[in-house]
Amino acid sequence: MPLLTHYYQKLFAFCALLLTIIGIVFVYSASTYWSAIHYEGQTPFYIKQMIYFVIACLVFVMIIKGPALTEKKLFMLYLFSLLLLVLVLIPGIGIWRNGSRSWIGIGPLTLQPAELVKITTLLYLSARLSKVKSFEKVVKLEHFIIIFLPVILIMLQPDFGSVFILVVTAFIVLFIAKYPIKLYIFLMLAGGAGLIGLIISAPYRLERIKSFLDPWSDPLGSGFQAVQSLMAIGPAGLFGHGFLQSRQKYLYLPEPQNDFIFSIILEEMGFVGGGVILVLFATLFYCGYTLAIRAYGLEQFYMISALTTMLVLQTCLNIGVVIGLLPVTGVTLPFISYGGTSLIVIWITVALIIKINYAET
């Protein structure tokens, strides 16, 4: 049994490593021209991504070799991440970019606290859920406070994509924890109503919905990214145009190394190349849930399930946007999209899944 668990741990880490290497390769392909035009003389994106990966590896080793996560430590990390969310809202500390104040500047580096708070919230929520033996008659208000404190702070930025991933993942964990079905249905209805309210309250979100339903109604405005993404994917065929042969990266698709990097991969590698990446993600998720099932305690099961579900939702959300199945949300593709905070936090997630599971073996 332990040997089989170690196998899934290694396969999980291997898939994460392979996806990251693929990401660096395609950040190079997608960003070279964009970087030369908009960031002449600065360090190329793929070099930065390699540096971020080295940092991510160091953090990975530190977590694996570090002490176990107790509930007290998780609570302190949760509070620290909330503090970061408060700091990001303060002018002069928080950086305004692309219509939201979601980053903190640390010298030449930037940190996106919402990425970190998703992890700390889910881990602390899982720890608290594991202390309740039955939810048939008891529903803990503290669980919803844990979820919605960071949600409120993230919405003030605003960052709708992060809120969606955090709330949906948290509700799935509540479902796994056997919250009463009636209450869960109520929460889903309330969440749906809140979602509609958020969309209506912000004109840009409503425009994204309209452009999602018919991107060609405003191909040079709100539907621009969706149209350019589909134009990249459509002609690619089975094997694509070949590595480095993307056409949409030449200033047609804005910042192609970020949220829409999967469009460039499909354009250059075609259906086959995209299929390989999907198989790697599917294997990663399978290993994650297998490690959750093999966890030795309820707390560990909740934690690994929550972190794996977060990865699944973020991946599906990004790919759904790229292929036109979902409105544009600004969510990165795990391991592959360019971004220091995104890559490091994703590898923190990988380390935690292995670390939490490793204790049982």
List, for residues 235-257, the tens digit of each pLDDT value. Answer: 888 899 999 888 888 878 888 88
Distance, in Å, from the CA atom of 182 to the CA atom of 192, rounded to the nearest integer, reads 15
Handedness of CA 109, 110, 113, 114 (dihedral sign): negative
Q: What pLDDT is recorded for position 156? A: 86
Distance, in Å, from the CA atom of 239 to the CA atom of 271, rounded to the nearest integer, reads 6
Count of CB atoms within 10 A of residue 216's CB?
Answer: 10
- Helix H segments across 202-294? 203-213, 224-233, 261-293
Predicted confidence (pLDDT) per residue in 14-51, tens digit: 999 999 999 999 999 998 888 888 777 677 889 999 99
- Among residues 303, 292, 299, 12, which one has the least CA distance to residue 170? 303
The proportion of the chain whose per-residue pLDDT surpasses 70, expressed as a percent, equals: 89
Distance, in Å, from the CA atom of 38 to the CA atom of 36, rounded to the nearest integer, reads 6
- Among residues 321, 344, 345, which one has the least CA distance to residue 331? 321
Phi-psi region of 337 (alpha: psi -120 to 50; beta: other; left: phi over 0): beta
Beta-bridge partners for 91? 94
When pLDDT is cut at 50, 70 and 90, the band that residue 293 belongs to is: very high
